[in-house]
A and B are shown apart, each in its own frame.
Chain A
Amino acid sequence: QVQLQESGPGLVKPSQTLSLTCTVSGGSITSGGYYWSWIRQHPGKGLEWIGYIYYSGSTYYNPSLKSRLSISLDTSKNQFSLKLNSMTAADTAVYYCARVSIGAAGLDYWGQGTLVTVSS
């Protein structure tokens, strides 16, 4: 059974960089056929794609976040990470990591989500 778990700070100051890590167990992030993705949900709002990465290192970013965003892999730890810089209050959200099954285009496994609040 594949499991994903987000980790990182729950509070970030304005203008700082958010760093989140997703640890994958029960499966390898170097397996083809999957994208490893980040999705967020602002309080009381809908789901928003942040971006995703393939095991080859190819990345796909939400154009609205692209200038501030970096997603990377750490294959030695079976983890992938998100860095979002120049954080503002508008980035306050629950951040989820999830696996995309490419063939089915479905997000089949999700982390529990982590609330990130941007405040001084």
Chain B
Amino acid sequence: QSALTQPASVSGSPGQSITISCTGTSSDVGRYNYVSWYQQHPGKAPKLLIYEVTNRPSGVSSRFSGSKSGNTASLTISGLQAEDEGDYYCNSYTSSSTLGYVFGTGTKVTVL
């Protein structure tokens, strides 16, 4: 099972919106609404931002939103802030592996 494909880096200026894509196949992202997104700051554990494609856990800013179209899921960060700088990972349930889950390759977000 190959990792889901994310862009290596995305950047934006404060206040702008950016979108991170997560491309899989019809065996994972395209088949299941079990895509989640994580934010990781240097030296810290990942933090759940989005689950089931569009849902935000309690306490996560509404500036983070998720969506899906076909085999590609997306995370949009609106009103970009300096604190949003970090690494972002998607994860999906998959039928292609006995493990059942697969992470994306990760995207480094830079706030200019």
Contact = CB atoms under 8 A, between A and B. Distances in A.
A107 B57 contact: no
Nearest to B35: A105
Interface size class of A (residues with CB under 8 A): 20 to 34
A63 B105 contact: no
Given A47-B103, A47-B106, A106 B97 contact: no
The dominant DSSP class at the A interface is strand
B103 A49 contact: yes
A49 B101 contact: yes
Nearest to A111: B45
A48 B100 CA distance: 13
Contacts of B52: 104-106
B77 interface: no
Contacts of A108: 48, 51, 57
B99 A61 contact: yes
Nearest to B6: A46
Contacts of B44: 112
A99 B74 CA distance: 23
B45 A46 contact: no
Q: Which 10 residue pairs spanning A and B have beta carbons closest together?
A: A106-B51, A105-B34, A110-B45, A46-B106, A106-B36, A104-B51, A47-B103, A105-B93, A106-B48, A108-B48
Interface of A: 46-49, 51, 60-63, 96, 98, 100-101, 104-108, 110-113
27 contacts: A46-B89, A46-B105, A47-B89, A47-B91, A48-B103, A49-B101, A49-B103, A62-B99, A63-B97, A98-B45, A101-B51, A105-B52, A105-B91, A105-B101, A106-B36, A106-B48, A106-B50, A106-B51, A106-B57, A106-B91, A107-B36, A107-B38, A107-B46, A108-B48, A108-B57, A110-B47, A113-B45
